[in-house]
Structures are given as C-alpha cells and as structure tokens.
Amino acid sequence: MAPLTRLEAEARSALLDVHHYAIDLDFTRGEDTFASVTTIRFTARRDGDTFAELRPTALRGATLDGRALDPATLADGRLPLSGLTAGTHELRVTADMPYSRTGEGIHRFTDPADGLTYLYSTCFLADCPLVFAAFDQPDLKAVFDVTVTAPEDWTVLGNGSVTPVAGRPGVHRCATTPPISTYLMAVAAGPYHSVRTEHAGLPFGLHVRRSLAEHLDKDADEILDITRRCFDRYHEIFDEPYPFDSYDQAFVPEFNAGAMENPGLVTFREGYIHRSAVTDSQREVRGVVVAHEMAHMWFGNLVTLRWWDDIWLNESFADYLGYQVLTDATEHRPWVEFCTDQKPRGYDADQRGSTHPVAPEPDAVPDTASALLNFDGISYAKGASALRQLVTWLGEDAFLAGVNDHFTRHRFANATLADFVDSMARASGRSVPAWADAWLRTTGPDTLTPQIDASENGEGWRLRLAHAGARPHRLRLGVYDADGAPRARHEIELPAAEGTTEHTFPGPRPDLLVLNDGDLTYAKVRLDPRSWDTAQRVLSDLPEPLTRTVVWNAARDMVRDGELAPAAYLDAARRLLPAEPSTAILEAVVAFARGPVTDRYLTPEQRPAGLAALSDLARDLLGAAVTDPARRLFAARTAIDAATEPGELRSWWEAGTVPGGPVLDPELRWRLLGRLAVLGATTEEEIAAEAARDVTANGEEGAARCRAALPDAAAKEAAWRAMFDPADTLSNYLFAATAQGFWQPEQRDLLARWVARYFPAALGVAARRGHTLGVLAGRQAFPRGFTDAGTLRLGEDTLRRDDLTPALRRPLADQLDDLRRALHVRGR
C-alpha cells in the first residue's frame, strides 16, 4: 500500500468532512479472513476527486450513493472516488479482510496451552484499512458505530460499552463513540477471562486469555488500584472529565508495542501480566504504562494531532504525565526508572544519524511511512524530559492552566504545536514560542562540563561551566562532601547560548559536584576528576536515588564518548553495586555493563574478564545476608547471563532453585536453559522436554530462542530458514525470539559465515512482510558480536541500495551508528 502523504491528507481534509462510520465485522468466517462491511457518511465541501483506503483479500462490492463502483479500480490500497459533487454522500464497502500474524490489523492468535483463539485490532498508524474502509488520517474524525459477530462463547470489547443484540446470538454492538480518529477504532474478541468493577460511575475491566487467568487474578487488585488512583488524579488536574463511557484494559498476545491508547479499550503487551517472579521496578514500570495510556485519553484521543509531525503532542505528554501522575497518586517513585532506563534511550537516539527534533517541521514527515519511524526515544523520553524542564521553568500551576486551556479550545478536534504553544503562552505570560524553538525544533543533547576552582582562602569556589549546545536550562547543582553527605544545593539558569558561564558559591570546594541533581533538565553532564574519584568511593551512599542515577548516567555517557575506559565502568559497578539500594539502578547499570560494554566495547580478549566481574557481583548479591527477593532475583538473572561455564547453572537446573532462592519459575528456567544452549551444555532433546513442560506461547518463544542459540551449524541453519525463508511462517514474536537466540558473541567463529548473508536476507523479509518484520529484522536480527570494519562495510553498502524499505533502513542505520561508536570506544 502506498503511504499517505501529508499533501494528500491536507487536500482530502480541505475537501471532506467525515461524520459517521458504521462498521460490521464478522469473525465467524474461518481462520484466514473475516468479513468487513463499512458505511461512511461524509460531506464534500465542493466538487472534486478523492479516495478511501482499504487493504482486503477480496473486495466484494462498493457503492457510492447507491451507485456501484468497479472493484477493479482498487489499487495499492486505494479505492478512487471520482466526480464527487458538493454535498452529503454515503460510501458502502463490503470486503474479506486478512487476519494477521504480525500484530497489524486484526491479529489472530491460537493459544498453544488450550487451543483457544483470540483476536484484537491494531489500527495504528496506517493499519485501519486492514480492518475497515476509511479516510485514514487523524484530522478526519468521526463518530463510530461498530457491530461484531463472533462465536457465542466469546467476549467482545470495543471503544464503548458492548451489549448483545437481542435475538441475534453472537452479535454485539459497541456504544456510539464521540468523534475519534480512524487509528483509534478498536475491538477485541475471544474467550477472554475478565475481572470487572466500577469506579466513578463507569465500568472498568481487565481482560486476558484464559490460560493466564490465575496470573491476572493475582495482580488484578494492584492493577485496578493504580488505575483508580491515576483516574482520580487526572480528574484533579484536568478540568475536562474522562471523555468516554467505559475503561477496559486488555492484555493481548503478540502485541508489537508496550500498549495502545484506544479510547475505552487500551490494549497492552500481555507480558505485563507476570507469570513469573518480577522485581519491584518491573511492577513500577507496569504502573507507568497504565498511567501513560490513561493520559492519552486526553492527549491524543480528546485532542488529537492534525498530522504525524506532532506525535510529541501524544507521546511526550503521555510519557511525562505517566511518570508524574504515578508519582503523585501512589507510593511509587518512577522518575528513577525514567532516568536510569528511558532517558538514556533518548540520549542514544538523539546522537545517531537518524535523530530528529521532538517536533519536526511538517515537511520532515512527508508521509505515514516516515512518521512510523519517529516513535522512538526522542518522541518519548526526550520529549518528556523537555516537558519536565518546561514545568520547572513555568511552574506546575501555569503548565496545567495551559494544558486545560488547550483541552477547552480543541475538545474532540485536532491541534498542532502552534496551538499548544499559544495555550501555554496565554496561561503563563512567558515567551513559550522561543522556548519551543530552542527545545522542540533542534536535535542532539547539550553537554555540560564543569571546571571547579577553589578560592585561595577556602571561603568560596568558582564553577566555570562549559555549555555545548544552545538550549536554555534551569538546573540544580548538588554539592557533596568526601563522605557523600549533602552540603548544599544551588539553582542556576543557563542562557540559550553556547559558551562558558561562571558562577561563584560560598564554602569550600565540593568533593563531589553533581550537575543536574534531581534530573530536571535534558543534557549530558560530565564529572570533574575529583568528583569522579569521590563518586567511586561514596556513590551508593548518596541519599537520593535520582542523584545516584545522574552520576551513573554521567559515567555511562563518558564511556560511550570514549572518555572513560569500559573496564573502569565495570570496576565501578563491581565495587559499588552491592551497596546500591535501588533495584532500578541495579538493573540499568548492569544492563549497560552486560550489553554494550561487555558485548561491544570490550574486545573479544577482554570480554571474559568483563563477564567474570559481573559474575562476582552476582555472587555477592546472592550471599546468605541478602534476603530481599527482588535483589536475589536480579542477582540470579545476572549470574545466568554472565556465566562462562555451565557447572553452577547445571546444578541450579537440576535442583530447580538457586541456593537460598529464587526458585526457578518458567522465566528463569528458559533464561537458564538459553544460557546453557549458548555454552553448548544442553541438547535439542532437553529443549523439547522443557517445551512440553511449558505448553504456552512463552514456552514456544523460549524454545525457539534456545534452539537458535545452540552452537551447532545445523541448528543455526534451521533457525536461519525459519526467519528468512520466503515461506514466512513465524509470527512477529517467534521471529524476534529466534533472532535473539541466533547471534551470540561466544560463537563468532561458527557464525561468521552468516554475517554476509544477513544483509540480503533482511532486505528480503522486510520487502515481503512489511513494517513490523522490517523493523524486527533490523533491530533483533542484526549480527550482534561482530564489532568490526567488515560488518560495517557490508551494512553501509546495503544502506546505499534503492530497494531498502523505510522500516528496515532506520533500524539498520541506527545499528551501524552504534557499531561505529563501539569501534571508536575500542580505538580510544
């Protein structure tokens, strides 16, 4: 299907007003296709031509104002509507539509645990034509009436409350929606297990497939409590009440994103329903996602972007509010996880060649294909960080006043960056347009580097702060003594100009100076040599976790920029983390140490020492004195991932537990068996036995990952064919699992022959299978562990090809940027 261009969308929006969709979906027609009948009422403002989008397996018929249209005119997903006259019209389209295995359109999943089938829709960003005929662009909002026919024992969910149709078994009608965009239409159908309640006069529901019922029931009280608390908090800060008639949250299989904010029916990746033990930070992340998606009911659903250059109006706001509202409404403190995990993704994305402004110029997002690629760490984490800085600058009261003005002026309509900036300026009286130009229209992170001088009499000190970048910043300086005790905090403002500013403060020179203490702005910060020396002694003793996180992030950036040796970072992690109380910090530091540092920045000769350091850390955290289950679970995962010999892992496998805990639940069993596979210490027979023990979708993925990890040429070739053979039998999740298992740094000699094969194979699968598999081929199937000039050259040759799809081009370019950075770090 040809992507919709911005110019086409503007022309169609100038021609049409769309009023109403009546959609009938029949899910009783077999395993391959479903029936879709769409009736659209719209008005043409003048005479003209346009088109509707549809991607069927068969177009059964189409009429415009009762006049038959030729089905043969449907081409490239577009049905021409020629000769429209000014006035009202009705388009009716009947089609057979394809079920999906890639999480796009109507995804169909059969549960291996019990053979039951589940369906759910994903209409985002340009996939609603896989479900119904539409004028598919966000600024042509309309009212939706949806009817679903399904097997009689199925649950049906939609954007509004669902009621059975009297006298028509299996037929369900969803309540009429307010005006919403086409990408937000949603249904789910299947024998879902549900937990229902009511809050604030509205029905609330949680839904999951039946084989996960016990796990949902275990967590339902926690999820519903967070849902109610966040719902109430949004009603405290927003003047506009929740705009829909119900609130369902469905945790669905093989979902591509973390979640999707469909009005009244939020769909989540079902991994948020935990079937195995998790850490406290993992539970906190689930809470953030619940709060994030609820924020979209206002930012995105009530007020919607006009075109996809303004996705930050959806995602940056939902990200900021997700973290802030969970902080306000619960005992969680999720800004630590944001700083440790989410924000580094923004920094990383912002330093690649594919970086883009938070709010790009409209012509920088010329079509829907390019828009899809901008849902990244910049639109989420960097945008949320910019908003946090805006709140710091304006104050929360002025910020919320601007938000509420924005909602009032654009209720159930569309808005742009200019509209939002105008509301903020009206509410605050500040020069928000200048702030927006500096923060939202520019790329790359600023860098702040301190130089500290003590006065001769020791009664004051001077900070010379080098500012590489041109954004204004309001930030906090944390001043700490040699034992880590906080001495003072100072607020400073930096102008929107590159250069060095000087600041003087009373008291003796700091032993540790933390720029951006509290993480209130978005900038890379450096540690002066004395501060880094002090941090290496006292970092885990600093009282505030956000302070510790800012210091760890500074060290992370210094490693990535070639200013701190990777081995020095590993040494600091090994010494400091046993005393670190925050699980979120533990997980983030070790993830960076185990991933980029050990697998890419260290040479193959250095890598065993890096893994040994992480194994020693895990051993400390599994000591008898450590009783916290979250820390022991984290330590067990680290020990498994860093193991270079199978002996201890094999003893845990046979005992079914790590000595002193945790017990090997399904997640840990697959993790451990996967590491044994990498080390050549298991067999196909043992993998098959474990798959028979865990007859679930997770078990299928675990087995695929383990089989692909076996250090055997035949096993590798079988995994390769499964991923890249034109038969294309793998679902999105099984493709990802197989790719994750395939490339292992321990198996470089065995895998070398597949490196050159990867690039044409990825090109082929992206061309055949579309956006989701193209992205997975670039992100998951890239040859990890081959940090060398030859792999870089092959990738650069591929990027020069004209037949590279956008879905593959962006992740492949990002992988090559990361590879260049790794080579630079090694060279330093």
> Do 378 and 499 belong together in one domain?
no
Considering the domain boundaries, does residue 603 fall inside one?
A: no
Token representation of residue 387: 């908003």
Give tens-digit pLDDT for 744-758. 999 999 999 999 999
Considering the domain boundaries, does residue 543 fall inside one?
A: yes
Give tens-digit pLDDT for 755-802. 999 999 999 999 999 999 999 999 999 999 999 999 999 999 999 999
> Do 2 and 138 belong together in one domain?
yes
Q: Is residue 105 within 8 Å of 185, Cβ to Cβ?
A: no
Q: Is residue 646 within 8 Å of 681, Cβ to Cβ?
A: yes
- C-alpha 140/C-alpha 138 separation (Å) is 6
Inter-residue long-range contacts of 228-233, CB under 8 Å, 24+ positions, other chains counted: 228/199, 228/204, 229/329, 229/330, 230/290, 230/291, 230/294, 230/325, 230/326, 230/329, 231/199, 231/200, 231/294, 232/200, 232/329, 233/325, 233/328, 233/329
| Percent of the chain scoring above 90 in pLDDT | 98
3-state SS, one letter per residue, for 123-183: CCCCCHHHCCCECCCCCCCEEEEEEEECCCCCEEEECCCEEECCCCCCEEEECCCCCECHH
Give tens-digit pLDDT for 482-497. 999 999 999 999 999 9
Q: Is residue 210 within 8 Å of 136, Cβ to Cβ?
A: no
Token pair 């250059």 is found at: 309
Considering the domain boundaries, does residue 533 fall inside one?
A: yes
> Do 75 and 169 belong together in one domain?
yes
> Do 466 and 318 belong together in one domain?
no
Considering the domain boundaries, does residue 127 fall inside one?
A: yes
Give tens-digit pLDDT for 160-217. 999 999 999 999 999 999 999 999 999 999 999 999 999 999 999 999 999 999 999 9
CA-based torsion, 366, 255, 128, 413: positive or negative: negative
- C-alpha 650/C-alpha 114 separation (Å) is 31
DSSP H helices in 330-476: 335-337, 343-350, 368-372, 383-394, 396-409, 417-428, 432-440
Task: Quickly count: other Cβ atoms within 10 Å of residue 714's Cβ.
Answer: 9
Rg (CA), the chain: 27
Model confidence at 454: pLDDT above 90:
no
Boundary of a domain, candidates 190, 206, 232: 190
Considering the domain boundaries, does residue 731 fall inside one?
A: yes
Considering the domain boundaries, does residue 430 fall inside one?
A: yes
- C-alpha 690/C-alpha 702 separation (Å) is 9
Check which CATH number belongs to the domain holding 143 and give it. 2.60.40.1730
SS3 658: coil
**pLDDT of 459:** 80
Q: Is residue 359 within 8 Å of 417, Cβ to Cβ?
A: yes
Report helix angle 789-799 to 748-769, nearest 10.
10
**Mean pLDDT calculated for residue range 431-435:** 96
**pLDDT of 163:** 98
Considering the domain boundaries, does residue 137 fall inside one?
A: yes
Helices (H), strands (E): how many in the chain?
27, 28
SS3 113: coil
SS3 663: strand
Instruction: State the amino acid at position 291 in one-letter form.
Output: A
Give tens-digit pLDDT for 542-562. 999 999 999 999 999 999 999
Boundary of a domain, candidates 385, 405, 440: 440
DSSP H helices in 238-359: 280-295, 312-329, 335-337, 343-350
**Mean pLDDT calculated for residue range 396-425:** 98
Q: Is residue 53 within 8 Å of 79, Cβ to Cβ?
A: yes
Report the Cα 585 to chain-centroid distance in Å. 19
Check which CATH number belongs to the domain holding 465 and give it. 2.60.40
Model confidence at 700: pLDDT above 80:
yes
> Do 21 and 126 belong together in one domain?
yes
> Do 9 and 135 belong together in one domain?
yes
Question: What is the distance in angstroms between the CA of the first residue and the CA of the last residue of the chain?
Answer: 46
**pLDDT of 502:** 95
* Pairing relationship of beta strands 486-494 and 473-480 according to DSSP bridges: antiparallel
- C-alpha 782/C-alpha 798 separation (Å) is 13
Check which CATH number belongs to the domain holding 348 and give it. 1.10.390.10
> Do 494 and 422 belong together in one domain?
no
Which residues face 512 on adjacent strands? 480
**pLDDT of 566:** 98
| 313-346: burial string, b at 16+ Cβ within 10 Å, e else | bbbbbbbbbbbbbbbebbebebbbbbbbbbbbeb
> Do 780 and 818 belong together in one domain?
yes
Does the annotation count 293 as an active-site position?
yes
Which pLDDT band holds residue 699 (cuts at 50, 70, 90)? Answer: very high
List strand residue ranges (DSSP E) for 28-111, in order: 33-44, 48-53, 58-64, 67-68, 78-84, 87-100, 105-110
Q: What are phi and psi of 125, to 5 degrees?
A: -90, -30
SS3 809: helix
Considering the domain boundaries, does residue 418 fall inside one?
A: yes
> Do 415 and 326 belong together in one domain?
yes
Model confidence at 457: pLDDT above 90:
no
Model confidence at 705: pLDDT above 90:
yes
Q: What are phi and psi of 671, to 5 degrees?
A: -65, -45
**Strand (E) or helix (H) holding 568:** helix 566-576
> Do 478 and 428 belong together in one domain?
no
Boundary of a domain, candidates 440, 459, 485: 440
Task: Quickly count: other Cβ atoms within 10 Å of residue 92's Cβ.
Answer: 17
| pTM score | 0.97
**pLDDT of 455:** 75
Cα distances from 529 to residues 139, 452, 510, 515, 753, in angstroms, run 53, 10, 12, 14, 45
Catalytic residue selected from 293, 580, 667, 700: 293
Cα distances from 644 to residues 177, 273, 651, 657, 745, in angstroms, run 57, 32, 14, 19, 12
> Do 427 and 492 belong together in one domain?
no
Q: What are phi and psi of 454, to 5 degrees?
A: -85, 150
**pLDDT of 362:** 87
- C-alpha 175/C-alpha 156 separation (Å) is 12
CA neighbor of 372 nearest in space, from 3, 103, 53: 3
What average pLDDT does the chain have? Answer: 97
Q: What is the DSSP string of 693-761?
A: HS-SHHHHHHHHHHHHHSS-HHHHHHHHHHHHSTT----HHHHHHHHHHH--GGGHHHHHHHHHHHHHH
Residue 405, C-beta contacts closer than 8 angstroms, at least 6 positions apart: 423, 426, 427
Containing structural domain, residue 333: 314-440
- C-alpha 645/C-alpha 612 separation (Å) is 11
The domain total for the chain is: 4
**pLDDT of 215:** 98
> Do 823 and 733 belong together in one domain?
yes
Give tens-digit pLDDT for 612-665. 999 999 999 999 899 999 999 999 999 999 999 999 999 999 999 999 999 999
